[in-house]
Amino acid sequence: MHLILFIVFAGFCLAGAINLLLQSHPINSALSLIVVMTSLAVLYLLLGAEFLAAAQVIVYAGAIMVLFTFVVMLLNAGREERTMGSRSARAVGFPAVVVLLGVFATVILKAHGLGVAALSDGVTSTAELSKVLFTELLLPFEVTSVLILIAILGAVALARQGDGEPHASGERTPTK
CA 130 remoteness from chain centre: 22
- C-alpha dihedral, 60 to 66 to 68 to 72, nearest 10°: 160
Give the C-alpha distances (Å, rounded to integers) separating 101 from 22, 37, 79, 116: 19, 24, 32, 23
Check residue 81 and give its pLDDT: 62
Check residue 61 and give its pLDDT: 75
d(CA 127, CA 83): 51
Q: Minimal CA–CA distance to 57: which of 67, 70, 44?
A: 44
Q: Is the dihedral of CA 90, 95, 96, 100 positive or negative?
A: positive
Check residue 50 and give its pLDDT: 82
Residues of the chain with pLDDT under 50: none
Q: Where are the domains of the chain?
A: 2-82+120-159, 87-113
Report the CATH number of the 2-82+120-159 domain.
1.20.120.1200
Check residue 103 and give its pLDDT: 80
